[in-house]
Structure 1
Amino acid sequence: MSKFKFQIDPLSNQLKFQQLVDAVTDAISRNLLQVGDILPSVNQLVKESSLSRDTVFKAYAELKNRGIVESVPNKGYFIAKATTKVFLFLDTFKAYKEVLYGSFLDNLPDNFTVDLHFHHYNIEIFEKIITESIGKYSKYIVMNFDHERVPEIIQQIPPAKLLSIDWQVHTIAEASSIYQDFGPSLYQALQTEVPLIKKYQRFIYLYPEFTYHPPESLEYFERFCKDNNIRFEIFKSSRQMTVEQGDLYLLVSDRTLARFLDQCATKNLTIGQDVGVISYNETPMKKYVKDGISVISTDFESMGKKAAEFVKSGESIHLQIPTHLTIRASV
């Protein structure tokens, strides 16, 4: 007797055969179905779910093509493999994303496989990869970006299977999200070190032309400086960065951090004394470069772990990962 029960969702935009495929893969990911378990017969599903025989055959054929199901003549369809496939869609692969990715993998059981993709903030790539992925995965982990077409594209994904991570932009209310804050959290983190920041003549935020860093950080940086009577500048071109003694720099790009370090070496400026720097996003190497680069960052290891918990449990989640300022020798 099969322990798998299936019901059509008449309000869903998904085709009925795809609903059946997804229901089986979801049941496997939740351990409701295991290797060797029998699925309902074609006749049983036709009778109980008002599906056509063609629809059931099409769904079972798709599951067989994926190696998830096998059929035995005169006995029926059985679960052959309990591997669960997860879709992970990141913007770019940087050092801090590697921390997130590594934590995500480390917290998944061996029977989960992850297909990793990147969109590089290109809406055509974003649409193509998501459209081609529909119906092939049990869970979808997606980093959105600020483009007007993102909402219509991600609406192709069933909300219960979707987790938006990192930047809370164009999220779907019914879907899950794990995110960091780029506005008030920046203000609050900087507020913890006002006396240290004030030892510098100017606080300079370099927001280069090539960055996709959320722009609300500019507003809260300016508000922080004005509230604390700190002289500040916001540069929106990487060419504006000429490191000057007595200045403290907030850098959102590791590319500009490298240029900052080069200029300090050329001008014989001692980091943490002559000039200061705070870099966005923790990476393993920033603890050791120049005796430690100060960082303002969310906990990407925790973000990866929480994303893995969503994949394993399937339970809805809405969670903001805190942002902290870590002071090292560079300030």
Structure 2
Amino acid sequence: MNKFKISIEENSNVLKFQQLVDSIIDAISQNQLKEGEMLPSVNQLIKESQLSRDTVFKAYAELKRRGVVESVPNRGYFVTRKITKVFLFLDTFKAYKEVLYHSFLKHLNKNVSVDLQFHHYNIGLFEKIIDESLGKYSKYIIMNFDHPKVNEIIRKIPAEQLLIIDWNIQSAENSNTVRQDFGQAVYDCFADNLESIRKYKKFIFYYPPFTYHPKDAIEYFNKFCTDFKIKHEVIYQPEDFVIKKDCLYFLVSDRTLANLLDQCSEKGFEPGNQVGVISYNETPMKKYVKNGITVISTGFELMGQKAAEFVSSNKPMNFTVPTTLKIRSSL
């Protein structure tokens, strides 16, 4: 049996049994422990790592539950399958990202272990976490963002191991991608629902200063309104976001949606009557709020499924997830 390192940190917030599980999974994924090899005995681990018997048994029970190891009476614990370690690097954890995450996990094979991290659009944190992850994973699933250093940083990852999801920005032309279209797809969704949009005297896109939403949406919003001769405006500052009767609002932030609904309540406006609302990104609650909020959204469940397919297939991936407009009472 190859020697592998068990890393247990006394002051870590991670429970010791989980640290032991992670150490063994790391060893299997890096071929320090191979299929059919025997794990250290319970007594050996107690002696070498100063862990309690309960902690070791709990860790081995968890590994058995995952199908990673099996126990043979009077012999010990053996590795049953190779583990593929995947690094999933998201921007932030919002409701629609939860849909993506659970779909990703649902469609993965049982021998895949996923580590999840968030960069919060912080380039320093993005680079630090990427650098610390290099060489530790078989596949890297990363949500990029628009910063000039991003391309330089992700080029450290072998191209065949990297999948860029959601926003194909700051990447090489031959990158593996599962992306949404923030431009032409938005234009097409509006064009397919032109008569509903024409019910309102003015179409207003609020692009607040705190959003990281791709600016392609602004370009194609203006193009749509110009092409179809719709009175329109893009506003950027919170003080300009004052709800007016007979206007349709296109919102890319749930924070601004809450603000709009508060203003509607104060002014006695009913979404879908005195004002219209189109919100970006579907969440589980939007179909229930105010009898339903109209959303323009990509299929995050499909995005998670295609990302899982990249992990399991070892084939190149270049896929655009469809964007749709779901009409509800707010339009």
How far did 1:25 drift? Answer: 4.5
Alignment correspondent of 1:267: 267
CA-to-aligned-CA distance 1:91-128 (integer Å, 9 cap, x gap): 11111111101100111122211111111111000000
CA-to-aligned-CA distance 1:136-178 (integer Å, 9 cap, x gap): 1111000001111001100111111100000010123343100
Alignment correspondent of 1:89: 89
> 1:40-189 maps to which residues of 2 (within 5 A)?
82-189=82-189
Alignment correspondent of 1:190: 190
SS in 2 for 1:287: coil
1:277–1:330 contact (8 Å) kept in structure 2: yes
1:161–1:175 contact (8 Å) kept in structure 2: no
1:26–1:138 contact (8 Å) kept in structure 2: no
Alignment correspondent of 1:223: 223
Alignment correspondent of 2:325: 325
SS in 1 for 2:285: helix
CA distance in structure 2 between the aligned counterparts of 1:168 and 1:292, rounded to whole angstroms: 30
1:295 aligns with 2:295: yes
SS in 2 for 1:286: coil
CA distance in structure 1 between the aligned counterparts of 2:215 and 2:222, rounded to whole angstroms: 12
SS in 1 for 2:250: strand
CA distance in structure 2 between the aligned counterparts of 1:327 and 1:237, rounded to whole angstroms: 27
Alignment correspondent of 1:308: 308
CA distance in structure 2 between the aligned counterparts of 1:180 and 1:204, rounded to whole angstroms: 23
CA distance in structure 2 between the aligned counterparts of 1:88 and 1:238, rounded to whole angstroms: 34
Structure-2 change in CA distance of 1:27 and 1:224 (3 Å): farther
CA distance in structure 2 between the aligned counterparts of 1:108 and 1:248, rounded to whole angstroms: 41
1:258 aligns with 2:243: no
CA distance in structure 2 between the aligned counterparts of 1:102 and 1:304, rounded to whole angstroms: 8
SS in 2 for 1:285: coil
User: With structure 2 as the length reference, what TM-score do the two structures score?
Assistant: 0.77
1:160–1:174 contact (8 Å) kept in structure 2: no
CA-to-aligned-CA distance 1:286-317 (integer Å, 9 cap, x gap): 11111110001110000000000111111111
CA distance in structure 2 between the aligned counterparts of 1:141 and 1:192, rounded to whole angstroms: 33
Structure-2 change in CA distance of 1:26 and 1:312 (3 Å): farther
How far did 1:273 drift? Answer: 0.5
Alignment correspondent of 1:58: none
1:187–1:224 contact (8 Å) kept in structure 2: yes
SS in 2 for 1:85: strand
SS in 1 for 2:271: coil
CA distance in structure 1 between the aligned counterparts of 2:191 and 2:220, rounded to whole angstroms: 11
Which runs of no fewer than 5 residues in structure 1 stay unpaired? 1-21, 39-67, 70-77
SS in 1 for 2:230: coil
CA distance in structure 1 between the aligned counterparts of 2:171 and 2:34, rounded to whole angstroms: 33
SS in 2 for 1:311: helix
CA distance in structure 2 between the aligned counterparts of 1:208 and 1:254, rounded to whole angstroms: 11
1:88–1:117 contact (8 Å) kept in structure 2: yes
CA distance in structure 2 between the aligned counterparts of 1:80 and 1:105, rounded to whole angstroms: 21
Whichever residue aligns with residue 161 of structure 2, its letter is K
Alignment correspondent of 2:206: 206
CA-to-aligned-CA distance 1:254-303 (integer Å, 9 cap, x gap): 00000001110111101101101000001111111111100011100000
> 1:33-44 maps to which residues of 2 (within 5 A)?
35-36=35-36
CA distance in structure 2 between the aligned counterparts of 1:320 and 1:169, rounded to whole angstroms: 14
CA distance in structure 2 between the aligned counterparts of 1:117 and 1:194, rounded to whole angstroms: 40
CA-to-aligned-CA distance 1:14-34 (integer Å, 9 cap, x gap): xxxxxxxx9x95999xxxx97
Whichever residue aligns with residue 291 of structure 1, its letter is N
SS in 1 for 2:137: coil
Give the paired residue count: 268
CA distance in structure 2 between the aligned counterparts of 1:98 and 1:144, rounded to whole angstroms: 17
CA-to-aligned-CA distance 1:47-69 (integer Å, 9 cap, x gap): xxxxxxxxxxxxxxxxxxxxx99
SS in 2 for 1:284: coil
1:232 aligns with 2:232: yes
CA distance in structure 1 between the aligned counterparts of 2:125 and 2:97, rounded to whole angstroms: 19
User: With structure 1 as the length reference, what TM-score do the two structures score?
Assistant: 0.77
Which runs of no fewer than 5 residues in structure 2 stay unpaired? 1-25, 39-67, 70-77
What is the percent sequence identity of the aligned residues? 55
RMSD, matched Cα:
2.3
Moved >6 Å (runs of 4+): none
